Amino acid sequence: MRMIFLHSAVFLWILCGVSAEYRNVALQGRATQSTILTLQPWGYLGAAINAIDGNQDPDAYHGSCSHTHNHLSPWWRVDLLKPYKIAYITITNRIKFGYRINGAEILIGNSLSDNGNHNPRCAVITSIPDGGTQTFYCHGMAGRYVNIIIRGKTEYLQLCEVQVWTADSD
């Protein structure tokens, strides 16, 4: 398998002579999260939308990361506006305190029960290095909502970019 980089939002995969164009559908999604942290003293909001703005800058103080308060089971969600078959998801971690994401679950589905936190699991994030980006393969799991939750733990949830890749056409 060989991957050719074409554009920040589109990849072309070539496998046995078959090609598929993948695109990041999170860019046109709507994001929300359990709480919003104001990063003091700079005043940047850790708004949910920051994690799907197309900017992978891992420095939260530059204003491009989402960030919740420290509370039990913090979560973040993107509504893709319609269901897609998700090939993979890439997540960029904050450059500081990257350990906070350890144990987070990535969920995909069509339910908003408990804010979408009962949808099927694509992956568990064991760790992403500070400022690093990691890929999680979901193998065509279908859904409208992608959630990330640190279940059962009191913690901050910080995400500097979440990309949701599909070969589905609109």
Residue 13 lies in a domain: no
Total domain count, the chain: 1
Q: Is position 148 within any domain?
A: yes
For residue 22, what is the DSSP state? E
Identify the CATH number of the domain in which residue 46 sits.
2.60.120.260
The string of DSSP letters for 43-76 reads TEE--GGGGGSS-----GGGT--EE--SEES-EE
Question: pLDDT tens for residues 127-169?
Answer: 999 999 999 999 999 999 999 999 999 999 999 999 999 998 8
In a domain, 104, yes or no: yes
- Structural domain includes residue 146: yes
Range of the domain at 134: 26-166
Question: Does residue 16 carry a pLDDT above 90?
Answer: no
Residue 19 lies in a domain: no
Q: Would you call 91 exposed, middle or buried from its count of C-beta atoms within 10 A (0-12, 13-18, 19+)?
A: buried
Is residue 10 in a domain?
A: no
Exposed, middle or buried, 81 (CB in 10 Å: 0-12/13-18/19+)?
A: exposed
Give φ, ψ of 50 to 5 degrees: -60, -25
Computed over every residue of the chain, the mean pLDDT equals: 89
